[in-house]
Amino acid sequence: MSYTHLSQDERYQIQHLHSGGFSAGEIGAQIQRARTTISRELRRNASDEGTYRARPA
């Protein structure tokens, strides 16, 4: 299986959808990525307040 990093565009999409109340599974389906990938990204880049901010990796 081939792995690819999330693009900056995908990170902005995650930020937008997450702020709109979408779940990790719904976001994953929308951008065609695994729910676990989205969950991990949200957890890794969450602020202290729990919000997600897309930023260059």
Domain range for 20 is 8-44
Q: Does residue 16 sit within a domain?
A: yes
Residue 49 lies in a domain: no
Q: What are the pLDDT digits (tens) for 1-57?
A: 678 999 999 999 999 999 999 999 999 999 999 999 999 999 999 988 889 999 865
Structure tokens at 57: 């990796």
CB 27 within 8 A of CB 14: yes
- 35 within some domain: yes
Q: Taking the model in full, what pTM does it have?
A: 0.89
Rounded CA gap, 17 and 1, in Å?
A: 27
Helix axes 24-31, 8-19, angle to 10 degrees: 140
Count how many domains the chain has.
Answer: 1
Torsion, Cα 39 40 42 45, to 10 degrees, reads 180
| Amino acid 1: pLDDT | 67
pLDDT of residue 22: 98
In the prediction, which pLDDT does 47 show?
A: 87
**Is residue 34 in a domain?**
yes
Task: Answer whether residue 50 is part of any domain.
Answer: no
pLDDT of residue 56: 61
